[in-house]
Structures are given as C-alpha cells and as structure tokens.
Amino acid sequence: MKTILVIEDEAQTRKVLLNCLKFEGFKAIGADNGKTGIKLAQEHCPDLIVCDIMMPEMNGYDVLSILRQKISTLAIPVIFLTAKVSMFDLRLGMDLGAEDYLTKPCNIERFLTAITTRLRRKEELQKSYAADFNTPDSKSFFDREELSKCSKTTKVFEFIEANFDRPLELKEVASNLGYSPAYLTNFMRQKTGRTVKQWIVQRRMDKARQLLLDTEKTISQIAIDTGYVDTSYFIRQFKRLHGTSPNLWRNSSLENTNCS
C-alpha cells in the first residue's frame, strides 16, 4: 500500500483529499502545517507528498527546501497545491525540485491522475536503478557488498556537503566518486530529477539564506563562504532562484521576523 502525505492547513480541503486517497486504497496521512509535515515525512517516508504553498509560519517552498536537504526525504516526489501560480512561482518550485502543480479548488480526477502518474514514474526509475546495479560495470567504484550498504546518491550528497563552500565543479565530483561526468549527470537527473550542479547551487543557497538571517556578514563575505569567487555571479544566481537580491531578501525576511 502506497503512503501519501498531505500537508494542507485548510481543514476541509485536507479532509476531502485524505478521504479521497483512502477510498482509492492509499494510506493517507495529514498534516495541518509545514513543521508537522516535515516531521511526518521523516517518520513515515511516504511514497509521495502533496503540499499546499500558502501556509502560515512555513510555506510550501520552505517545506520542500528542507525536505531536499535531508537524505531520507530528498527523493520523495512533491506535488504543490496552490490557489494560483505565476511563472515566478512555477520556476521557483521547479528549481527547488517540485514534481507538479495542482490549482485549488482541485479537481479530484486530476488530483488522482497526478498522483498515479508520479508514482508510476517513481517505480519506473527504481526499476532502472535496479537494472543499473546489476550490470557488470556497476562495480566500477562500489563492490557488491559496498553497494548494498550505501547508495550512489548518498556519496554524491556527502561530497557536496563537505565541499560546497569552495569552488566545485561536476568534473571534480565525478572524479572523486569514480564516475565520468556524463554518467553521473545522467544518473543524478534520473534519480533525483536534478543535476549535480543544481544540487550544488541549492546547497549553497541554503547556506546563503542561513548566513543572511543569522549573521551580519557582507554579501561578498557570504559569497566566499558559499563557494563563489565572483560576488556578482553569486548575486545573479541568488536572484534567479529567489526573485530578488540577497540584500533585499535579507531585509524583507528580517522585517517579517520582527513583525511576527
């Protein structure tokens, strides 16, 4: 039985979606806020998560960003629920790794179709990984015993975590893990829906946001601390992902914190 986690602060909407999923034979779990949703995701490791975007305290983007930072939840497909979606919202969600968007009020047929489609795709990818592990070339870096203990993606994320705060390129990641850049790129895109470069950028942006909120470091200092030699390039990447500059993001976030 597949497990679906629904993170939705509107009680009636959450109830309807959960009942619909249970009727279709899913194990359905509900959370009324992002913090609880993250906790349940770590406890139950659901096959898929449906998450509202506009929620108090922690919105859907924050939830997805945190889920993608943790090894146990990074590969769980996430479908966003939203009353409306702009091109900026769509781009931001996809950059963070969202699988799909559903608009509210949500059509039940489309809701179920989106879920079954994503679950089918997940199963197809898992079969592909299993086949990959059984090929003669699969021992190029891990031996069979080692492969049973850890995944390729875990090694990739561990390497990124240890090195994201300095200049880091795909070629170096691939070389240190014993793969070609092309193979590692294709594998990570199939496994997680994102490339190694995208994951490096995401980890750097996570760190940048934390430094912007918790320290008084300058933008140039934060750029260096997150692996960017060129401050202007860091600012462009931050703005592309967040829709605003690091300074404006810092000021806006601190104002919202003070108001609350």
pLDDT in tens, the chain (260 residues): 899 999 999 999 999 999 999 999 999 999 999 999 999 999 999 999 999 998 988 889 889 888 877 767 877 889 999 877 666 666 667 666 677 888 887 788 889 998 998 888 777 665 654 444 444 333 333 333 333 334 678 888 889 999 999 999 899 999 988 888 888 887 887 777 788 888 898 899 989 999 998 899 999 999 999 999 999 999 998 988 777 899 998 888 777 656 55
Q: CB neighbours (10 Å) of residue 135?
A: 9
Token pair for 230: 């060129």
Enumerate domains of the chain plus CATH numbers: 3-126 (3.40.50.2300), 141-260 (1.10.10.60)
Q: Is the peptide bond before 105 cis (omega within 30 degrees of 0)?
A: yes
CA-based angle 205:240:256, to the nearest 5? 65
